[in-house]
């Protein structure tokens, strides 16, 4: 027989996690794997069953949260739609000469808002803005390039 050297008899089991979050499920699996046969089998089965129920509960909670957020968005959209409804004012009886109708739309009446840049204007930008304003003198439509006047530069 060969003589055993103490270093050949060394037997050590070690664990290493490769990143990620150490959740209750991973901790429980490690604990269950360290137990002896009947306990480890039952504990792992119970943990897998419990993890399934836990996932279902988390999904239900997240879906309820998303439903609440969707309801808030719908309420906000309804509130904005109420503000955008056109106002119809009808005077007189339809068909008479004094009959008139007036429709005003707050979106059209309000017009568009001018955008405001948060960036500071440098000296070159001021010069360029003035030059662009000089060149953008048109007759007719704002986008009618055929009416561009060279003499206004």
The Cα angle at residue 61 between residues 59 and 67, in degrees rounded to 5: 100
Strands (E), 14-151: 87-91, 100-104
Of 54, 53, 31, 55, give the one whose Cα is nearest residue 43. 31
For the chain, what is the mean pLDDT?
Answer: 77
CA 18 to chain centroid: 32
Taking the whole predicted model, whether its pTM rises above 0.75 is answered as: no
Q: How confident is the model at residue 23, as a pLDDT? A: 87
In this model, does residue 140 exceed pLDDT 60? no
Q: How confident is the model at residue 110, as a pLDDT? A: 58
* pLDDT digit string, tens, across residues 89-112: 888 888 888 888 888 877 666 555
Stronger pLDDT, 4 or 1, i.e. the higher one: 4
β-partners of residue 100 are 91
Q: How confident is the model at residue 139, as a pLDDT? A: 45
* pLDDT digit string, tens, across residues 42-91: 999 999 999 999 999 999 999 999 999 999 999 999 888 777 777 888 88
* Domain segments of the chain as ranges: 22-108, 124-153
């Amino acid at each position: 027989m060969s003589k055993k050297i103490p270093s050949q008899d060394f037997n050590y089991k070690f664990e290493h996690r490769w990143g990620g979050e150490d959740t209750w499920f991973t901790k429980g699996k490690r604990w269950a794997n360290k137990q002896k046969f009947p306990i480890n089998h039952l504990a792992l089965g119970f943990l897998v069953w419990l993890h399934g129920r836990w996932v279902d509960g988390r999904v239900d909670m997240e879906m309820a949260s998303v439903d609440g957020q969707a309801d808030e968005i719908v309420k906000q959209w309804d509130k904005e739609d109420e503000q955008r409804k056109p106002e119809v004012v009808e005077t007189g009886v339809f068909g008479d000469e004094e009959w008139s109708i007036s429709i005003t739309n707050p979106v059209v009446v309000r017009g568009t808002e001018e955008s405001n840049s948060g960036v500071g204007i440098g000296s070159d930008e001021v010069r360029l803005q003035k030059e662009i304003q000089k060149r953008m003198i048109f007759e007719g439509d704002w986008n009618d390039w055929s009416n561009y006047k060279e003499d206004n530069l």
